[in-house]
Amino acid sequence: MDSKREMLRHCVATLAYRGGKALRDAPEEFAGYRASETSRTPAEILAHLGDLIDWGLSMVRGQQAWKNSEPPPAWQAGADRFFASLNAFDEYLASSEVLHVSEEKLFQGPIADALTHVGQIAMLRRISGAPIRGENYFKADIETGRVGAEQKPPRIEFD
């Protein structure tokens, strides 16, 4: 496997790690929190995250398709969809199947956008009163291929 594809898979694993931290143990009422009358709720952002990863998978398969999903009724269902989408995307990237778009375009589109939205969820956690702890992500145990909800515990966190 070429180094660009491996790097993209590491980006997907990083997204899973950071996403897992932002999604894990969120209070049930957090899903509907709205920072302002024009902002998305965390549940809407989470549905968009799943849409982004599904879009990336459709692109690598050569069948680009976009879908705007409604947020599921439960936060955990949205998180489950996000990780299932990441898993399907990573499985394709790990295969010998042809990528129908470049690794650079995948990173600059769905992956970078998803990282932004994970950051939004983390920020909304803090302003809604349910913050996650900061972390030195350079020291995090992020492993290519580990893209599910189960991640290694943080090594160095701070307040």
- For the chain, 159 residues long, give each residue's pLDDT as a single digit of tens: 699 999 999 999 999 999 999 999 999 999 999 999 999 999 999 999 999 999 999 999 999 999 999 999 999 999 999 999 999 999 999 999 999 999 999 999 999 999 999 999 999 999 999 999 999 999 999 999 999 999 999 999 998
Structural contact between residues 136 and 33, judged by C-beta atoms closer than 8 angstroms: no
DSSP 20-77: HHHHTT--GGGGG--SSTTSPPHHHHHHHHHHHHHHHHHHHTT------PPPPSSHHH
Report the run of H or E that residue 119 belongs to, with start and end.
Answer: helix 112-127
pTM of the model: 0.96
- For residue 100, the one-letter residue type is H
Structural contact between residues 132 and 122, judged by C-beta atoms closer than 8 angstroms: yes
Architecture category of domain 3-137 in CATH: Up-down Bundle (1.20)
Q: 3-class DSSP state for residue 34? A: coil
Alpha-carbon distance of 118 to 65, in angstroms, equals 22
DSSP 94-105: HSSPPPSS-HHH
Per-residue pLDDT, 1: 65
Q: 3-class DSSP state for residue 3? A: helix
